[in-house]
A and B are shown apart, each in its own frame.
Chain A
Amino acid sequence: MRPEPLPEAEAPLALRPRRGTRRKGGNGGGGGAPGPQRGPVAGPCRQGKLRLQKWYLATADREKKKMVRELMQVVLSRKPKMCSFLEWRDLKVVYKRYASLYFCCAIEGQDNELITLELIHRYVELLDKYFGSVCELDIIFNFEKAYFILDEFVMGGEIQDTSKKSVLKAIEQADLLQEEDESPRSVLEEMGLA
């Protein structure tokens, strides 16, 4: 699989369960772009703004931009009732819309579309659990968290852990470490504010 984009909107992302699907991270309105062997990107919606992007193949910036732009265009031009797959360049793009955010993932010809859709859905579920009923603003203002979650879930384009629980656990613990790190500083900050 590859990259994918996800969309944005200020409405909460509605989660509809689905039969067999999976995703590679990313969200935002618009498109994500691929690198060979799976890398996702995510971008937001109507305005076509990218909210997250993740590439599982190192790609030069210019090429990334071009692909994102193209992909956004393709994905945004899809009508609501259309299926979630499309062929693009030599890749397959799997996308799904949650509220105003499109999550896209570019995969290779032989990859399984349905499991990619499931991957996307899982990622959104993870975001939802982590932020508690996630909305686009959560992703905008905490974009680094969204990346951290994605990184715990997918690595190098392959799913790392199929258990939502263990992904969330890893994130929580890493966050804990971080909080411990941060605590002295926040005291200082408070002082400063006072």
Chain B
Amino acid sequence: MALKMVKGSIDRMFDKNLQDLVRGIRNHKEDEAKYISQCIDEIKQELKQDNIAVKANAVCKLTYLQMLGYDISWAAFNIIEVMSASKFTFKRIGYLAASQCFHEGTDVIMLTTNQIRKDLSSPNQYDTGVALTGLSCFVTPDLARDLANDIMTLMSHTKPYIRKKAVLIMYKVFLKYPESLRPAFPRLKEKLEDPDPGVQSAAVNVICELARRNPKNYLSLAPLFFKLMTSSTNNWVLIKIIKLFGALTPLEPRLGKKLIEPLTNLIHSTSAMSLLYECVNTVIAVLISLSSGMPNHSASIQLCVQKLRILIEDSDQNLKYLGLLAMSKILKTHPKSVQSHKDLILQCLDDKDESIRLRALDLLYGMVSKKNLMEIVKKLMIHVDKAEGTTYRDELLTKIIDICSQSNYQYITNFEWYISILVELTRLEGTRHGHLIAAQMLDVAIRVKAIRKFAVSQMAMLLDNAHLIASNTQRNGICEVLYAAAWICGEFSEHLEEANQTLEAMLRPKVTTLPGHIQAVYVQNMVKLYASILQQKEQSGEKEAAQEITQLMIERLPQFVQSADLEVQERASCILQLIKYIQKLQIKEVPVAEEVIALFAGELNPVAPKAQKKVPVPEGLDLDAWINEPPSDSESEDEKPKTIFHDEEQRHRHRQPEMDEEELARRREARKQEQANNPFYIKSSPSPQKRYQDTPGVEHIPVVQIDLSVPLKVPGMPMSDQYVKLEEERRHKQKLEKDKKKKKQKKEKRGKHHRHNSLHTESEEDIAPAHHVDIITEEMPENALPSDEDDKDPNDPYKALDIDLDNLVSGKPSRPLADSEKLPVQRHRNVEALKSPDSEAPPVEKKSKKPKKKEKKHKEKEREKGKKKEKEKKVVEEEERKKEEDLDFWLSTAPPPAPTTQPQSEPEASAAVVAEPQEVKREEREEHEEEEDEGKKSSKHKKKKHKKEKEEKSKDRKKSKKKSHHSEEETAESVQNGTLEDEPLPPMSSYRLLAENPYVKMTYDIQGNLQNDSQVTVSVIFENKSTSFLKSMELNVLDSLNTKMLRPEGSSVHDGIPVPFQLPPGISNEAQFVFTLQSIVMAQKLKGTLSFIVKNDEGSTHEKLDFKLHFSCASYLITTPCYSDAFAKLLESGDLHMSSIKLDGISISFQHLLAKICFHHHFSVVERVDSCASMYSRSIQGHHVCLLVKKGENSVSIDGKCSDSTLLSNLLDEMKETLSKC
């Protein structure tokens, strides 16, 4: 064996270690892949060896390779082997590898459960730590379920180091196994007030994360967090809490009011930018959710904006960026406050950093007004020209369009200017956003009627220059604008001055190189153009010219007929035939123009994009029913072409066949009926003319003479500038005119120009647009359905955590933990389980709960459930109210935080609670009455308390009364149920002093284990009190006949057991030792010695510390729950011996007394009536111990019954001793 080990070690020397591997990889830059595959082969060999050191080395190398991107999932099993190594060195490597490469799909992961559990309960805190860290990276739902209970136990570990990690990992566990949230939450909440700041901040982190996902369940924690916020100085924690409040405020606006003050204080006082930023963000969020009713509302906003300005002006790019980001949030609700910083924002457009420029752009969107739109866009256009890199330029382009088109072109006063901007934008090479520009052109031309003439002229220009556009961007992009140009020229051809020329431009051979869908639009629209030219020529009697144009069409159309694009081909051949027919008619000198133009008659109105969706389904119409027989499966669905206006074009033309009057009238009726239900029917809007008349005088005539000589064709000359100038002049004129009119009006006093009044009263901002923007509101069908609610993402991983915790939180179990909700606990016997976390359980009051859970039998469970349910029903309603009132109360109090920290209690129904809600109400109304009431119920002790408080201010009084009331009542109740969890007792520790000298202090606790009737585990905490290093600690005891220390096989009774760790100065750690015993009816004492080496700068010395280990009888007892009926049977059986004691001068309250017995002597309360209680416990060897505890005025009597009389009398003696100390 030893030889093998040596051999393994020698082998190992020839292996590469990590350093060699790294170096090797660096030296083989050319053939890295080959070198690595060679290394992987070596590693595979190494993994086959038995030596764990070799394996660990191999796994370490694999971890490195994994980072380089090599697959190491094949080694998952070897990683688990290394994880289970006993040496920390290897374990650490194993867990690291696992955390780097395991994920939910790793199948061997389920093999790790027991190993992890073992490590979690290891006496060495670093083993536990490393296991927790690893687990946090790869926890799966299965692991979470199996280990939740173990981790929960660790949350109360003695070491903050472990508690902290356990608390943090709980979040991951919740995510994977949401059922664990309810059972674990009370303890988690408790950790918010952990003495260790690290643990506290971990708990804050976890709860804040939970709360951010499902805020409403955590609203009741607000007072507690508020207290933390006003007391904590740790910025990390503050940021979390503030973030949490940001999430809570939308649900409870009153919370917002309460928050503003502390937050503003923080903003003023903090020097940490991260905290400042968080506060500002939250204040903004709060103000947004408050919307109104805040007195110094605008002051807060001003403060935020000011602070943000400082950030933006900072030379640090990061702050600048974040400042802009936060500014944009304010912008949404308080645009005015931000607009005053326009200068600053515009400055940021020149920043070197693209991300900052983009942020500034976002801001500009909200900052434009009628007044500054042109100026801002001009600035942006300059940036477009300067911009390098298409991404940013495209971003600019979309922003310009967004800015201009927002809220129905609200800020555009001059559409000629806007069209020119769009046309200028078409000069951008390689942009992806041609379709955006096209859509804008179409939209403006359709919706702003007055601009059509101008738009058409510009579009004709574009078509004429199509070669420039098309050649620039073969691939995608800008040629899309031709789509719009062609359509606009066709549709509004009546405005075209040189229709012939445009038609010719559309018939150029070059056009066939355009994408199919554009060609299709070309073809369709050249007919429109053709029709209007035809009509024009016929009217002026130029028959020759009319025939010429027909001839031109017939000559050029065939090039489209040959198109590979079906759409183009079909339209072209149709039209070609049509025109050939026209030609025939023309030759016969029949006037055809009227009929041709009738093809395209009709007004076009925009339809809201959602209109179709909003059509309500008429009653009695079943859309899913088949109208005809269902078609055979083989029929394929026809696909619709995706052209933009295709559908509408076809649908909205209404041709009017000639009919006699009567027929017409009849049909009109029918049509009206039909129209009512026809979603496609566009109701005629009031004619544009009519609208113009409504608008103030001059405005409907474009003041600007359209200057067609605008040098469109000369690229580089920003022609939109002209319009800026013209617009300025226009505005100036307008103003003058207005002034004139005003004066006139003043003179006339009652001017005729009533309709101008509205104009005059408007502010400077409202500059009348040059055209009446006939922005037709998009049509919606009648009875449009309300907008669709957006569904929540069903895949949200956090949804599962939307669990109501309030009942747990406020300590009032309206929905107590059901049995099914308890965390699964490992049940089978396991040697390791001896050392399981149980034995390390917290020195605080909660021991009784665990064993109870574990050993509860089915019957008992059900019985309990039944009981709970009954109580539950009663309590639920009042409970809800109570909860609300509490929060209300807190929220309604004046600023100084009044945290009504409610004591948490084990979520079990408490009868006392029923009385509560009424009391709270009363408290608010009649205090005297209430006092009497309470006095009756409560103990003297409480009365005193109340009296004292009476002198205090009424508010405080109410609060504290409520508090004390709660806690007392609850405590009583929880004791009754055998759980002590949330009792406001002085902290108790079951750890007793073992021995102490200047170097080391030992405290110990003894716990029995039900699974082995002759063993107890002694947990000893060693604390290094010196400034030296303690190592080689060894603990030995002198065994007695009855009690022996369990030593490793093969060692003699005189050998000590090494303590498995060393102690650096000031550190403490816990080790566990197992003892076997035969009889447990007597207390035992064992002498022992701890030997250790003290190492410091001067050298090392060997030291010893003697101690006496006292096994009390109580340490053989295990808290076991028992129910009253079972208890009664037990007493009736008559197998028990009886004994009793009486103690005088006991002054502590009864529940404290019970708590002490429960805690120190491992009993549980079976039943409690007034000041009398029955208790039960069981020894590891199965002795039943029953107690009846009665409290008189100043004395306590305890009657005991037990299957062993010696044990009983010893136990009673011990109890006497404990209680006499009180």
* Residues of A near any B CB (own CB < 8 A): 19-22, 36-37, 49-56, 58-61, 65, 68, 79, 81-86, 110, 112-115, 117-118, 140-141, 143-144, 147-148, 151-152, 155-156, 158-163, 166, 170, 172-174, 176-178, 180-182, 185, 188-189, 192-193
* Residues of B near any A CB (own CB < 8 A): 6, 9-10, 12-13, 18-19, 22, 53, 60, 63-64, 67-69, 71, 73, 87-89, 92-93, 96, 99-105, 124, 126, 129-130, 132-133, 136-140, 161, 164-165, 168-169, 171-172, 175, 198, 201-202, 205-206, 209, 212, 234-236, 239, 243, 271-278, 316-322, 352-356, 797, 1061-1062, 1064, 1067
Taking a contact as CB atoms under 8 Å apart, the answer to whether B64 and A181 are in contact is no
Taking a contact as CB atoms under 8 Å apart, the answer to whether A180 and B1062 are in contact is yes
Nearest residue in A to B314 (C-beta to C-beta)? A19
Give Cα distance in the complex from A86 to B391, angstroms: 15
Top 9 closest pairs, chain A to chain B, by CB: A20-B274, A114-B274, A20-B273, A83-B317, A58-B103, A156-B136, A83-B321, A115-B274, A181-B89
CB distance from B1213 to the nearest CB of A (A): 43
Query: Within 8 Å CB of A192, what residues of B?
Result: 9-10, 13
- Taking chain B's interface residues, is the majority helix, strand, or loop, or is none over half, making it mixed? helix
Taking a contact as CB atoms under 8 Å apart, the answer to whether A188 and B168 are in contact is no
- Given A112-B277, A141-B18, does the pair A155, B105 have CB atoms closer than 8 Å? no
- Given A85-B322, A158-B205, A173-B1064, does the pair A144, B67 have CB atoms closer than 8 Å? no
Give Cα distance in the complex from A79 to B275, angstroms: 27
Query: Within 8 Å CB of A174, what residues of B?
Result: 88, 92, 126, 129-130
Give Cα distance in the complex from A108 to B353, angstroms: 22
Taking a contact as CB atoms under 8 Å apart, the answer to whether B317 and A155 are in contact is no
- Given A158-B209, A160-B164, does the pair A173, B126 have CB atoms closer than 8 Å? yes
Nearest residue in A to B68 (C-beta to C-beta)? A50
Contact of A114 among B89, B126, B277, B356 (CB under 8 A): B277
Give Cα distance in the complex from A114 to B235, angstroms: 12
Contact of B352 among A60, A81, A141 (CB under 8 A): A81
Query: Within 8 Å CB of B139, what residues of A?
Result: 58
- Given A85-B321, A158-B205, does the pair A185, B236 have CB atoms closer than 8 Å? no
Question: Interface centre among A20, A50, A152, A161, by most B CB within 10 Å?
Answer: A20
Taking a contact as CB atoms under 8 Å apart, the answer to whether B164 and A161 are in contact is yes
Taking a contact as CB atoms under 8 Å apart, the answer to whether A188 and B71 are in contact is no
- Given A81-B352, A174-B126, A189-B9, does the pair A161, B60 have CB atoms closer than 8 Å? no
Query: Within 8 Å CB of B18, what residues of A?
Result: 141, 143-144
- Given A114-B318, A141-B22, A148-B92, does the pair A61, B101 have CB atoms closer than 8 Å? yes
Query: Within 8 Å CB of B355, what residues of A?
Result: 82-83, 85-86
Taking a contact as CB atoms under 8 Å apart, the answer to whether B67 and A53 are in contact is yes
Give Cα distance in the complex from A188 to B53, angstroms: 13
Query: Within 8 Å CB of A37, what residues of B?
Result: 175, 209
- Given A82-B354, A160-B198, A192-B13, does the pair A65, B69 have CB atoms closer than 8 Å? yes
- Given A176-B1062, A177-B1061, does the pair A156, B89 have CB atoms closer than 8 Å? no
Contact of A52 among B67, B275, B1062 (CB under 8 A): B67
Interchain Cβ contacts under 8 Å between A and B, 10 examples: A19-B273, A20-B273, A50-B67, A50-B68, A114-B277, A158-B168, A161-B198, A170-B161, A181-B89, A189-B13
Query: Within 8 Å CB of A182, what residues of B?
Result: 89
Taking a contact as CB atoms under 8 Å apart, the answer to whether A81 and B353 are in contact is yes
Query: Within 8 Å CB of A151, what residues of B?
Result: 96, 99, 130, 133
Contact of A140 among B22, B102, B797 (CB under 8 A): B22
Taking a contact as CB atoms under 8 Å apart, the answer to whether A160 and B165 are in contact is yes
Contact of A155 among B12, B87, B168, B797 (CB under 8 A): B168
CB distance from A194 to the nearest CB of B (A): 12
CB distance from B58 to the nearest CB of A (A): 13
Give Cα distance in the complex from A35 to B93, angstroms: 23
CB distance from B238 to the nearest CB of A (A): 10
Give Cα distance in the complex from A149 to B597, angstroms: 81
Give Cα distance in the complex from A62 to B1041, angstroms: 63
Nearest residue in B to A114 (C-beta to C-beta)? B274
CB distance from A144 to the nearest CB of B (A): 6
Nearest residue in A to B165 (C-beta to C-beta)? A155
Taking a contact as CB atoms under 8 Å apart, the answer to whether B322 and A114 are in contact is yes
Give Cα distance in the complex from A37 to B356, angstroms: 25
- Given A114-B273, A158-B202, A181-B88, does the pair A83, B318 have CB atoms closer than 8 Å? yes
CB distance from A147 to the nearest CB of B (A): 6
